[in-house]
Amino acid sequence: MCFKLYKKEDIAVWPKLSDNSCYKKLNTPNIYPTKCDDGTKPDSACDDAFKHDNSKWKTRVKHYKKLVTAIGTAKMRNVMDMNTMYGGFAATLIDYPLWVMNVVSLYAANTLVVVYDRGLTGTYHDWVGTDSRCLWNSGFAQRVVEEFLVIFW
């Protein structure tokens, strides 16, 4: 992912490099989302899906705040986006006093680098299997969490 490793005893830090020279050398034909072309400004969104994701989450968070009044208070400190794409949910909540863990499924498009590029926290997880009989497929897990938030907050 073009990060340099600094390690001292039990602590490791991977700061992002200041330029994109390493990224241009990567041999990743199936990278998702696609790399921006050379005519695109490096700090601008190059994919309409990215902008759509941001817009979608702004609308959803407004709705969630009506249902879950604890959002934005000290009562809710940790939130997990269990099926993140670009980290739009966490980005929308950036001004709230809470922490969001973005989780990218091992079976989905590899978009964790986008989450990291936004300065957000994220990880991979394999709880969402490819078996269609698995209850955690098709957004089921996210609906369970939303229902949990509505019931318990």
Residue 22 has pLDDT above 50, yes or no: yes
Residue 3 lies in a domain: no
The mean per-residue pLDDT over the stretch 21-47 comes to 61
Residue 27 lies in a domain: no
Contacts with 93 (C-beta within 8 Å, 6 or more apart), sequence order:
61, 71, 79, 100
Query: The CATH number of the domain where 112 resides is what?
Result: 3.40.50
Residue 35 lies in a domain: no
Residue of higher predicted confidence among 103 and 23: 103
DSSP the chain: --B--EEETTEEE-PBPSSSHHHHH---TT-SSPPPPTTS-TTS---HHHHHHHHHHHHHHHHHHHH-TTTTSTT--EEEETT-SSSHHHHHTTTSS-EEEEEEETTS---HHHHHHTT--EEEE--S-S-TT-TTTTTHHHHHHHHHHHHH-
Residue 88 has pLDDT above 70, yes or no: yes
Residue 77 has pLDDT above 80, yes or no: yes
Average pLDDT over the chain reads 75
Q: Say how many domains are in the chain.
A: 1
Residue of higher predicted confidence among 39 and 59: 59
Residue 152 pLDDT: 42
Residue 98 lies in a domain: yes
Residue 22 lies in a domain: no
Residue 37 pLDDT: 61
Residue 49 pLDDT: 80
For residue 57, what are the domain limits?
A: 44-152
Residue 64 lies in a domain: yes
Residue 110 lies in a domain: yes
Residue 54 lies in a domain: yes
Residue 34 has pLDDT above 90, yes or no: no
Residue of higher predicted confidence among 73 and 147: 73
Residue 151 has pLDDT above 50, yes or no: no
Residue 90 has pLDDT above 90, yes or no: yes
Residue 40 pLDDT: 57
